[in-house]
Structure 1
Amino acid sequence: MTAFVLAGVQLRPVLGDVAANLVSSTFWIREAAARGAKLVVLPEAASAGYMFADRAEAARYAEPIPGGPTTAGWAALAAELDLWIVGGVTERDGDRVYNSALFVGPDGLVGTFRKAHLWNDEQRVYDRNTDGFPVFDTPLGRIGVGICYDAWFPETFRSAALQGADLVVLPSNWVPVPNQPADGPAMAHLMCMTGAHSNQCFVAGISRIGVERGQEFVGRSVLVGPDGWPLAGPASADREELVTAEVDLIGTRGERRDNPFNQPLADRRPDLYAR
């Protein structure tokens, strides 16, 4: 498979209602499939919402991967519609709780990523990723995963790129950034664009909308090409919607990695960095 449609689902999860969120995500995944999508990316914490009061509340709505209702629902859709899905799930593993992203395909579970960089109160709610940044090999291409705040760290993109990632997907819950100019790009867009350009890969930053326990989420999901410029979006700040673009992760590898103008991966100087 070469060119395919990449879709991001910008939606409004309901805090603590896993069943309702599965219904909502199912609707939008089917909408994306109707537009020809082969890879669908949903926001961070799409399974149960985000603004948990504490670790105990997060654990109450967390689910195992595999074995939970969200894994089962998305895996069934992936098999039926012959596509791949990445989305945020509140994960329970024994007595540990993670802010995770689930990756399923037509043949079932592809893998799980647990958020590496915990933001603000997440540090008292979730356990930390100790597994690094896996890159998943699929018929669509090699796909790395980060979650929201992970995009603020260049190591997220570079770790994936050094493993040959063609695309980094970022299920996110972007919030307003202090002093953000009204007429400029969102800070998250700059992070996605820089990560894409500096690592010669595609990036999908897919956020949510709405207000949850007083916290506003800004939406504005975006798909970015390997040159650092948006392919689709930004989406609105307040509507559930899709952003889509046709991409070719495998077919563009030579063009992306052998660009005579600049090669940010090939031109690295690791011999100097440790100094």
Structure 2
Amino acid sequence: MGLVRIGAVAAHFGRDLDRALAKLEGIVAAARAGGVDLLVLPDATLGGYLSDLRRPDPTALPPALTEDSFEVGRVIAMAGPMVICFGYAEEAGALLYNSALCVSGDGILGRHRKVHQPAGESLVYAAGDGFDAFETPVGRVGMLIDYDKTFPEAARSLALDGATVLACLSAWPASVTDRASRLPQDRQSRLFDLYDCARAAENQVVWVSSNQTGVMGGLRFLGQAKVVGPGGDILARTTSKGGLAVAEIDVETEVTRSRRVLHHLQELSPVAYGRRR
């Protein structure tokens, strides 16, 4: 593959789908002008996230879409040769999932339904049941959605499935119980960065972390989008405000280099994990 330019987006997306599409036009155009090959947008790009994690309002949920919806088609059309990951509320019969799609102008390349659900999210969304990597023009990619990254097994399963780039799309808010006066000092701000770097280093992969910004109801989102190298080093990042973090990296070369002496996936000892003393 050679050098790949990867962009991680921090931006606010709300309920208005027309406004979201207009905003996406600008973001994608700027990324294309910057030579970005892989663009990772936040969770709930189309339709926004919940406004309350503990008691979600059933009358003010994100609009339910399907893979055949007009809005999904518009993102595919925008993508052209670029690979784009984005989040939306997926309608599947009577169920609603917090989902992500990876697309290019050729169509859908991969999909993921959020597995791990914080607080009251299960009152709104059904849970996904797995993690699968998939092939793209920029290499083998896996996707997670915000709280999924709290669980090491999620990222590890994608790395074991051959993914060398993991895209984690988030709508990650500041603490809802013990909020700091400034976002950089918030406990969730520290954890968000910690998980990003740890998951990249644990699995020796390139990690792309996007996030919502701004406010939705009682939730204040952290931003802090970033691209992390396979050694856990932050290659590019944004602040709590909107922005695009871009890094250029030869994914295969850097992943291979990081695994040259210590190869975490090959040196696993699964037989030891289930032992009881």
Common fold, TM-score beyond 0.5?
A: yes
TM-score by length of 1: 0.91
Pairing 1:95–2:98 present: no
Which SS does the other structure have where 2:214 is aligned? strand
Structure 2: distance between partners of 1:182 and 1:63: 36
The secondary structure found in structure 1 opposite 2:128 is coil
Deviation at 1:56, TM superposition (A): 5.8
Per-residue deviation, 1:119: 1.3
TM-score, scaled relative to structure 2: 0.90
- CA distance in 1 between counterparts of 2:166 and 2:64 reads 25
Distance 1:126 1:213 in 2: 18
- Cα distance, 1:251 vs. partner? 3.2
Contact 2:206 2:255 in 1 (8 A): no
Give the whole-Å Cα distance in 1 for the aligned partners of 2:253 and 2:263: 18
What does residue 69 of structure 2 align with? 68
C-alpha deviation, 1:253, in angstroms: 4.0
Letter aligned with residue 8 of structure 1: A
How far 1:19 moved relative to its partner? 1.4
Q: Per the alignment, in what secondary structure is the counterpart of residue 37 of structure 2?
A: strand
The question of whether the paired residues in 2 share the 8 Å contact of 1:54 and 1:124 is answered with: no
Number of equivalent positions: 265
- Residue in structure 2 matched with residue 232 of structure 1 by the alignment: 236
List alignment gaps of at least 5 residues for structure 1: none
AA in 1 matched with 2:239: S
What pairs up with 1:4-23 in 2 under 5 angstroms?
A: 4-14=4-14, 16-23=15-22
Amino acid at match of 1:250: E
Cα drift, residue 254 of structure 1: 2.6
Contact 2:5 2:247 in 1 (8 A): yes
Alignment partners' CA distance in 2, 1:120 and 1:272 = 32
* Corresponding residue for residue 217 of structure 2: 213
Alignment match, 2:38 = 39
- What is the one-letter code of the residue matched to 2:152? P
The CA deviation string for residues 182-226 of structure 1, in whole angstroms up to 9 with x for no partner, is: 299621110011101010101111111111112111111111000
Percent sequence identity is 32
Distance 1:45 1:147 in 2: 10
Q: Which residue of the other structure, out of 156, 159, 164, is the alignment partner of 1:158?
A: 156
Q: Which segments of 5 or more consecutive residues in structure 2 lack a partner in the other structure?
A: none
What is the distance in 1 between the residues matched to 2:269 and 2:50?
Answer: 42
- The RMSD of aligned alpha carbons is 1.9
The answer to whether the Cα contact below 8 Å between 1:3 and 1:251 also exists between their aligned partners in 2 is: no
> 1:73 is paired with a residue of what secondary structure?
helix
Aligned equivalents of 1:188, 1:20: Cα separation in 2: 27
**1:118 Cα deviation after fit:** 1.0
Match in the other structure for 2:265: 265
Work out the CA distance in 2 between the residues paired with 1:183 and 1:146: 23
Q: 2:111 matched to 1:112?
A: yes
Aligned 8 A contact 2:230 2:255 in 1: no
What is the identity, as a one-letter code, of the residue corresponding to 1:170?
C
CA contact under 8 A between 1:9 and 1:29: conserved in structure 2? no
